[in-house]
């Protein structure tokens, strides 16, 4: 959706007051910025789809050891330590097949949106 805003020259707004000798005070409101009129699209989760098997659950590191398939254009198939949130840590066990989104964060590789494949 496109939004168009009409900007009138300041002289056109102020001229009638000066021509008629009006001693009135004019207030000029500014048009909303383009940023406020642009709708923000729903953001999609970022990351690379991952499919693998949990080799070990490491609660003391808030991580899973996952043997995952190749992630095209990102990395070959391998076993790696992936950090997860507390909910994911509590919902999986050794041997579970899982899917999720592999995400590189400032503190390492994370597996977000973890789901057990049944």
CA distances from 93 to 8, 49, 57, 68, 85 (A): 66, 20, 7, 15, 14
Over residues 51-81, the pLDDT tens digits come to: 999 999 999 999 999 999 999 999 999 999 9
**pLDDT reported for residue 46:** 81
Taking CA 64 as the corner, what is the angle to CA 59 and CA 66, rounded to the nearest 5 degrees? 160
CA distances from 99 to 37, 83, 116, 117 (A): 38, 14, 7, 7
Give the global pTM.
0.62
Domains (ranges, CATH) in the chain? 48-116 (2.40.50.320)
Going from the first residue of the chain to its last (118 residues), give the mean pLDDT of each consecutive group of 10, the final group possibly shorter.
Answer: 50 51 52 50 75 98 98 95 97 98 95 96
**pLDDT reported for residue 62:** 97
């Amino acid at each position: 959706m496109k939004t168009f805003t009409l900007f009138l020259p300041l002289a056109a707004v102020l001229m009638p007051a000066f021509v008629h000798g009006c001693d009135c005070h004019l207030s000029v409101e500014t048009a909303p910025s383009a940023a406020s009129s642009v709708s923000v699209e729903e953001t999609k989760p970022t990351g690379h789809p991952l499919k693998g098997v949990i080799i070990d659950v490491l609660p003391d590191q808030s991580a899973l050891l996952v043997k995952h398939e190749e992630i095209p254009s990102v990395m070959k198939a391998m076993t790696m330590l992936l950090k997860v949130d507390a909910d994911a840590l509590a919902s999986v066990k050794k041997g579970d097949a899982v899917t999720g989104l592999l995400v590189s964060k400032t503190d390492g590789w994370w597996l977000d949106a973890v789901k057990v494949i049944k």
